[in-house]
Amino acid sequence: MLLEPTFIPVGTQGAVKSLSVEELEAIGVEIFFCNTYHLYLRPGDKAIKNFGGLHKFTRWKGQLITDSGGFQVFSLGKDHNGAGKLVKISEDGVEFKSHLDGSPHFFTPEKSIQIQHNLGANYIIAFDECTPYPATKAYALKALDRTHRWAVRSLKEHQLLNKKNNQDLKLYGVVQGSYFKDLREQSADFICSQDFDGIAIGGVSVGEPKEKMKQAISYVLPTILKTKKPIHLLGVGEVTDLFDFFGQGITSMDCTLPTRMARGGQFLHRTGNQTLDTRNKFKSQIMSQKYKLDSIALDENCQCPTCQKYDRAYIHHLFKTQELLGYRLMTVHNIYFMIHTTQLIRDSLKSDTFNKLKHDWLG
RNA sequence: CCAGUGGUGGCCGAACGGUUAGGCGAUGGUCUGUAAAACCAUUUUGAGCAGGUUCGACUCCUGCCCACUGGA
């Protein structure tokens, strides 16, 4: 299980965008996050099962975790570029309209778990509804109760399949409850009472202010910590989040941000660096004119393969000309930054110097 | 030299006798279980030159300049 602070990059469709598994290994990635919904649509979970599962299919020797499709209830459910709503939720499950061709697909908790077992990641996640923000209390309660019923169904199907296939996949249950203290507590109590291998916190980083996110997490953490189970924080991963949440006992988090920012030209770095614009904490835009002739590495102190070899001017050029290599070099850097920073946090927690480290970084 | 076609913002490129599209680029910003090599904002009126017709010209007319194509 994931018992030490672990940052999990996202590779929705079976690949961390722009990187090979060799590159992931080289920068110390232990595990990445794939998506059930996307892989079910393409190439299909049965196809992947026939190839011997996701590990063999992708040639990835490390660990894998799959999301349940629960987040797509949220992300496909809201209007996106006026494309309309692509999901319909009922007690039994969720009807998705494929974002690829509009074809209808029905996900139940059982179906999500079956697909995830076919994909065969090390860790899988119970089917839930990621409640939009803001939500009324009435809606949040209704969605929460449904998610709890889905959690029980997910768990039952999971145990059945583990037994039937003689496997030992690990299942995370998901705590929801929007931003209501009593609902969050109620959810933590319920999910922790079930026989899940790990507990995930969902329904955060959905557009709420950071303070609300911290609150929601604080409502549920005491209960979850008592279980001694690994705690995954779903969809969270700004640099400051690593300090805020690993410091409190969260054991893993996944986030698209570092890879997505990389493709948008933003690179991560520590603040207080003389050669960088520190207005925006921990990030700068490589396409900015000020890097056009800059002959030092993205982050002068970084040990990543990109920074060991290439300078800002070259990467600036690659982005201006939209050369694919740019996305790759930048993604390597950003993921390394997250992994390395997480490693510093791990070490500091062991040596009891976490508070000093956090102060050094965040002030 | 003759003929034809055409000269529109940093670049490409429409329409139009009256309020000039759009794209690219540039600049700034955003992104948290990836419908994302994405998205948003700004880039506040610019017609080869000189005249003319008209209430009004980027649009019609004349001359000149330039480019491309074809022909001597």
Residues (pLDDT < 50) of chain A are: 81-83
**Nucleotide B62 C1' to residue A183 CA (A):** 83
CB-neighbour burial class of residue A52 (10 A; exposed 0-12, middle 13-18, buried 19+): exposed
| From-to residues of CATH 3.20.20.105 in chain A | 6-255
User: How far apart, in whole angstroms, are the C-alpha atoms of residue A223 and residue A202?
Assistant: 15
Active site residues of A: 67, 254
Q: Give the nucleotide at minimum CA-to-C1' distance from A263.
A: B37
Q: Which fold would CATH assign to domain A6-255?
A: TIM Barrel (3.20.20)
Partners of A302 in beta bridges: none
Torsion over CA: A120, A229, A74, A145 (sign):
positive
Q: What is the pLDDT of residues A52-82, one digit of tens each?
A: 999 999 999 999 999 999 898 889 887 654 4
* Whole-number Å distance between alpha carbons of A213 and A179: 8
In Å, what is the separation between the CA of A112 and the C1' of B41? 40
Residue A303 host element (H or E): none
pLDDT of residue A273: 63
Tokens of residue A93, six digits: 């499950």
Q: Can you read off the two tokens belonging to residue A21?
A: 């598994």
Residue nearest to nucleotide B35 (CA to C1'): A99
Residues in chain A: 363
Give exposure, A141-174, as e/b (b: 16+ Cβ within 10 Å): bebbbbbbebbebbbebbeebbeeeeeebbbbbb
**Buried (b) or exposed (e) across A201-219, using 16+ Cβ within 10 A?**
bbbbbbebeeebbeebbeb
Encoded tokens for A13: 């469709």
Which pLDDT score, from 0 to 100, does residue A363 have? 84
Give CA separation, A222 vs A181, A186, A226, in Å.
13, 12, 7
What pLDDT was estimated at residue A84?
Answer: 56
pLDDT in tens, A125-156: 999 999 999 999 999 999 999 999 999 999 99
Through-space separation of residue A337 CA and nucleotide B56 C1' in angstroms: 64
Task: Look up the pTM and report it.
Answer: 0.93
The answer to whether the beta carbons of residues A151 and A173 sit under 8 Å apart is: yes
Give the residue among A30, A33, A6 at the shortest CA–CA distance from A343: A6
Query: Quick check: A80 CB within 7 A of strand B?
Result: yes
Nucleotides of B under 7 A from a protein CB: 25-39
Q: Which nucleotide is nearest to A76 (CA to C1')?
A: B35
